[in-house]
Structure 1
Amino acid sequence: MTIRVMLVDDHAVVREGLRALLSKENDIEVAGEAGSAAELMEQVDKVRPEVVVMDLQLGNGPNGIEATKELLQRRPELKVVVLSMFDDRHLIFRALSAGAKGYVLKRAGIEELTQAIRLVAKGEAYLDPQIARQVVEGLQEGLPQGEENDGSEVELTEREMEVLRLVAEGLTNAEIARRLFISVKTVQAHRANLMQKLGLHDRVELVKYAIKKGILKL
């Protein structure tokens, strides 16, 4: 199945470069482009993307965070991956709070972006490994005193605990599989079980849970 992607960046040369790189992927189609939030809103219904790759700086008009909020109010089924040069934790959290399901740094390789696109298209979340630690630290600092011990206890198996810790550390399914000497499908099954048991929906929520319960140590 081909994933329809829309690129939003105010630099045409960046969009052209991304289009050229993504066109090499058999399962990804760049269905449209926009250079501003206004252009995005104009074209999104015509383009019908599944995933929007969003820059945070869009020149004049709303920025990428504001554009993400407006876009998801109109089309809540869409998935947004932020592609940004900024690794500031406050911007990262603002983007995630706006509804973005992925955050990739522009200095990352195309493999990171394609992985993020594929994961969010399936309903998962993706954080660039280079910023995962900042997200963890930000969540830790933002926890109210004493919150780490509240809530109902959920019984996890030893293997589920291992998978939870590695997911929270920012490892991909393939990396976890190699680390634990199990298959990627087994990792995916453990993640699905974790989500169901804990009532969580994405990696950011798993990270927060791991910190609250002391599973993830910085």
Structure 2
Amino acid sequence: MSEATAQPGAAASAALTILIVDDHSIFRSGLRADLDAGLQVLGEAASVDEAITLVVALQPRVVLLDVHLPGGLGGGGAEVIRVAAPRAPHTLFLALSVSDAADDVVSVIRAGARGYITKSASGAEVSDAARRVDDGDAVFSPKLAGFVLDAFGAVAGETADTIDELDRLSARETEVMRLIARGYSYKEVAGSLFISIKTVETHVSAVLRKLQLSNRHELTAWALARKLL
């Protein structure tokens, strides 16, 4: 694991803080050198496990994340997002990969990535994409934009009921629902979202009532069936 070059993102300067995650050191070095000076690279990671550790420790604003990574349970970049995101609630993930395969794009976006660009992008383009993600945009390489729309549009009819169900939940209830469905304890959810355990309990009760479910086990099954995890 590379040594961190700055304090966690919350304590860093006003510069946009970045973590680079890729298993090829030459690519990491080249990307780091090509990024705009206004982006502050906090560190680098080369595997799933290293990435999770550094995301949680450094709390970068944006993670430039390769899709295929060694380590962990074999889930690559998507696994990094699923495990690290609950413990780094202000961190955003931007996939950066040589792959434009459908399975790769869909899996990492479903995991929570805010965009997906290919490694053919220049340093300036990657820097701009990181800033746009920080501003709240969803960013895709031009060649992927149409594919992403087609991929998610193709299941629109199947997910209409799910969208209606999710519309019943507030934004905070949706966050709590996803974490509880993934198996996190009330204490872990409270710590991740900076709320009290009592507040978590209140949100879970509301989620179960609105979705007409009886317990967290039914909630997990409900979320899995709708591919929300």
TM-score when normalising by structure 1:
0.62
Question: What is the RMSD computed on CA atoms of the aligned residues?
Answer: 2.0
Match for residue 50 of structure 1 among 56, 61, 67? 61
Question: 2:18 is paired with a residue of what secondary structure?
Answer: strand
Checking the alignment, whether the CA contact within 8 Å between 2:63 and 2:94 is kept in structure 1 is yes
Question: Which portions of structure 1, spanning 4 or more consecutive aligned residues, are displaced by more than 3 angstroms?
Answer: none
- The code of the aligned residue for 2:105 comes to I
Which runs of structure 2 are paired with 1:23-102 in the superposition (5 Å)?
A: 25-61=36-72, 62=74, 63-102=76-115
Q: Identity of counterpart residues, as a percentage?
A: 32
Checking the alignment, whether the CA contact within 8 Å between 1:2 and 1:26 is kept in structure 2 is no
Match for residue 123 of structure 1 among 131, 136, 139? 136
Gaps of 5+ in 2: 1-13, 165-229
Question: 2:154 is paired with a residue of what secondary structure?
Answer: helix
Q: How many residues align?
A: 146
Match for residue 8 of structure 1 among 21, 41, 54? 21
The answer for the alignment partner of 1:200 in structure 2 is none
Checking the alignment, whether the CA contact within 8 Å between 1:4 and 1:30 is kept in structure 2 is yes
CA distance in 1, matches of 2:147, 2:55: 32
Question: 1:26 is paired with a residue of what secondary structure?
Answer: coil
Gaps of 5+ in 1: 152-218
The answer for the alignment partner of 2:173 in structure 1 is none
Checking the alignment, whether the CA contact within 8 Å between 2:34 and 2:124 is kept in structure 1 is no
Checking the alignment, whether the CA contact within 8 Å between 1:7 and 1:53 is kept in structure 2 is yes
- From the superposition, tell whether residues 2 and 13 of structure 1 become closer, same or farther in structure 2 (CA, over 3 Å): same
CA distance in 2, matches of 1:26, 1:13: 19
The answer for the alignment partner of 1:140 in structure 2 is 153
CA distance in 2, matches of 1:112, 1:43: 24
Q: Provide, for residues 81-118 of structure 1, a one-character-per-residue CA deviation record: whole Å limited to 9, x for no partner.
A: 00011111232121111010011101222232112100
**How far is the alpha carbon of 1:80 from its aligned partner?**
0.3
CA distance in 1, matches of 2:99, 2:37: 29
CA distance in 1, matches of 2:66, 2:77: 6
CA distance in 1, matches of 2:105, 2:84: 18
CA distance in 1, matches of 2:117, 2:123: 10
- From the superposition, tell whether residues 117 and 82 of structure 1 become closer, same or farther in structure 2 (CA, over 3 Å): same
